[in-house]
Structure 1
Amino acid sequence: MLRGVVAQRPVGTVTRGTTNPNRLRRVDRWLAGPQAWRLRSPVRPPVVVDLGYGASPVTAVELHDRLRLVRPDVQVVGVEIDQARVEAGQALARDGLSFRRGGFEVPLPGGARATVVRAFNVLRQYDEADVADAWRTVQGRLTDDGVLVDGTSDELGRRSTWVAVDRDGPRSLTLSWRLRGMQAPSEIAERLPKVLIHRNVPGEPVHAWLAALDRAWAHAAHHGSYGARQRFLATVAALRREGWPLLDTASRWRLGEVTVAWDAVAPRPAEGQRA
């Protein structure tokens, strides 16, 4: 069970709530890009939830600004377990943007289901053992083609990672960097989602993925004379040739972003546990 679960009350616990403007621009860009089909497909206005938006509602406001360029009638709902944070958000509510108290049960008017639930820098503050339960709870609140985006970013949004989870389970891991000044891709390890951050050790797939990124980055050093972007493009292209199951193309790599299939990085099951 998740910590703090009480019947008829929001599922989850109050987290630190720190946030900054533009911190989540990388994942928003992904939602408005390769994931935009999820917003365009529904006949009715799609519902997008900013789950655990924190002490300031700025990320929910930014999410609405960005996604209504894809789908003008999108309904963004900021959901927070802390009532004071919900009240702070109400001052910024507008057509298509509202705020509600709740947790991983994702309470929506009329029992509506969410097309997207973005939960950033939330589960990072929980125990790893809580993640699967939280995922299952949110999965039950998704539309048939909905997705939970469980991610982490640094304070300024220069490094960001997220797992895409649909109703059937996790599908991919995306890593996104500010390429300028990056010494090695594995610098992003400290911002891995909770489900992976403690698995960055030898023998675990995510460790192998980050090590492969570092090797390819080092081998592509000669491309650096053309800029960090060209070096990164060469890095990721080399990984694709090695057989890594990448789910995106150079149009995303140019942004300092790469998405790999979940099966390639999923944590190894504990000894005696089924895969």
Structure 2
Amino acid sequence: MPVGSVTRGTTGTNRLRRVDRWIAAHPALRRADDPLVVDLGYGASATTPLELHQRLLRARPDVEVVGIEIEPERVRRAQLSARPGVSFLLGGFEVPLDGGRRPAVIRAFNVLRQYDESQVAASWALMTSRLQPGGVLVEGTCDEIGRVSSWVDVDEEGPRTFTISLRLASLELPSIVAERLPKALIHRNVPGERVHDLLVDLDRAWAVAAPLSVYGPVQRWVATIEGLRAGGWPVRHGRTRWRLGELTLPWDAVAPRA
């Protein structure tokens, strides 16, 4: 039997563009011998698996995307949209791929929001156990139109990084991401928790960088991230990723306190 619960199925065109772009640059995809990617819990339509495949083709022309859903009727409808390189299966966190294949990447977005925080670790462990060596689970959430997004990069040893991705053109405060944190963090945005400290410092750095807004929101965001780094936060990557509205940190920098 599929493992998991039926989600609301909310989906939409272009909603997952930010995480798709990040996956396209990930070494787990680019270096994979078998570039198989799973879109787990894609929802009420085939939109997000089809978009994911189209975006990843630029990085790996041989990429294959399999959409997996726990609700049979959603799978039946999605199969009408199958095309070369994109297929659909019934299943859940157990990731039941044909022939025992293992994915290089599992994207599970807006899936764990309905679960208790206590269930996250077991769900991560089950999904990552299905990955091929060097594979990665990308688990997170976003708003309905994809302007605010965050996710965790998880491998067989556990969570590795935490990423925020925001549409800068309309950004008022970076802490708006608090509403769209992954399940492992969303209830931890309280004083004394690391993710709360991050969002406080991020808003402060954004305010300090306000004079640079005359040069555009991208310049202001880059200065914000540089300010965070100068303040001791172990920021990953560089300006190429920052200019996309991204911020990535090691998981340990935001992990819940015991």
TM-score normalised to structure 2 length: 0.98
Q: In structure 2, how many angstroms separate the alpha carbons of the residues matched to 1:24 and 1:105?
A: 23
Give the corresponding residue for 2:215.
Answer: 226
Once the 2 structures are TM-superposed, how far is the Cα of residue 126 of structure 1 from its aligned partner?
Answer: 1.1
Once the 2 structures are TM-superposed, how far is the Cα of residue 39 of structure 1 from its aligned partner?
Answer: 2.1
Q: In structure 2, how many angstroms separate the alpha carbons of the residues matched to 1:129 and 1:217?
A: 33
Q: Which amino acid aligns with 1:111?
A: G
1:11 aligns with 2:3: yes
String of CA shifts for 1:94-142, please: whole Å, max 9, x gaps: 1111000000000101111110000000001111111111001001001
Which of 33, 42, 45 is 2:32 aligned to? 42
String of CA shifts for 1:160-207, please: whole Å, max 9, x gaps: 000000111101110011112211110110000011000000000000
Once the 2 structures are TM-superposed, how far is the Cα of residue 42 of structure 1 from its aligned partner?
Answer: 2.7
Q: Which amino acid aligns with 1:136?
A: A
Q: In structure 1, how many angstroms separate the alpha carbons of the residues matched to 2:246 and 2:164?
A: 6
Q: Percent identity?
A: 60
1:268 aligns with 2:238: no
* Structure 1 SS opposite 2:170: coil
Q: In structure 1, how many angstroms separate the alpha carbons of the residues matched to 2:55 and 2:212?
A: 33
Once the 2 structures are TM-superposed, how far is the Cα of residue 248 of structure 1 from its aligned partner?
Answer: 1.4
Q: In structure 1, how many angstroms separate the alpha carbons of the residues matched to 2:220 and 2:175?
A: 15
1:20 aligns with 2:9: no
Give the corresponding residue for 2:206.
Answer: 217
Q: In structure 1, how many angstroms separate the alpha carbons of the residues matched to 2:236 and 2:62?
A: 29
Q: In structure 1, how many angstroms separate the alpha carbons of the residues matched to 2:221 and 2:30?
A: 31
Q: In structure 2, how many angstroms separate the alpha carbons of the residues matched to 1:166 and 1:184?
A: 31
Correspondences of 1:69-148 after superposition (within 5 Å): 69-148=58-137
Structure 2 vs 1, CA of residues 188 and 42 (structure 1 numbering), >3 Å: closer, same or farther? closer
Once the 2 structures are TM-superposed, how far is the Cα of residue 227 of structure 1 from its aligned partner?
Answer: 1.2
Which of 165, 172, 195 is 2:161 aligned to? 172
Q: Which amino acid aligns with 1:12?
A: G
1:29 aligns with 2:21: yes
Give the corresponding residue for 2:177.
Answer: 188
Aligned residues: 258
TM-score normalised to structure 1 length: 0.92
Q: Which amino acid aligns with 1:17?
A: G
Give the corresponding residue for 1:5.
Answer: none
Q: Which amino acid aligns with 2:207?
A: A
Q: Which amino acid aligns with 1:256?
A: G
Unaligned runs of 5+ residues in structure 2 are: none
Q: Which amino acid aligns with 1:63?
A: L
Does the aligned pair in 1 maintain the 2:24–2:30 contact within 8 Å? no
Q: In structure 2, how many angstroms separate the alpha carbons of the residues matched to 1:231 and 1:241?
A: 15
Q: In structure 2, how many angstroms separate the alpha carbons of the residues matched to 1:200 and 1:99?
A: 36
1:235 aligns with 2:224: yes
Q: In structure 1, how many angstroms separate the alpha carbons of the residues matched to 2:165 and 2:153?
A: 14
* Structure 2 SS opposite 1:211: helix
Q: CA RMSD in A?
A: 0.9
Q: Which amino acid aligns with 1:14?
A: V
Once the 2 structures are TM-superposed, how far is the Cα of residue 76 of structure 1 from its aligned partner?
Answer: 0.4
* Structure 2 SS opposite 1:49: strand
Q: In structure 2, how many angstroms separate the alpha carbons of the residues matched to 1:189 and 1:171?
A: 20
Give the corresponding residue for 2:142.
Answer: 153
Once the 2 structures are TM-superposed, how far is the Cα of residue 235 of structure 1 from its aligned partner?
Answer: 0.4
Once the 2 structures are TM-superposed, how far is the Cα of residue 144 of structure 1 from its aligned partner?
Answer: 1.3
Once the 2 structures are TM-superposed, how far is the Cα of residue 210 of structure 1 from its aligned partner?
Answer: 0.5
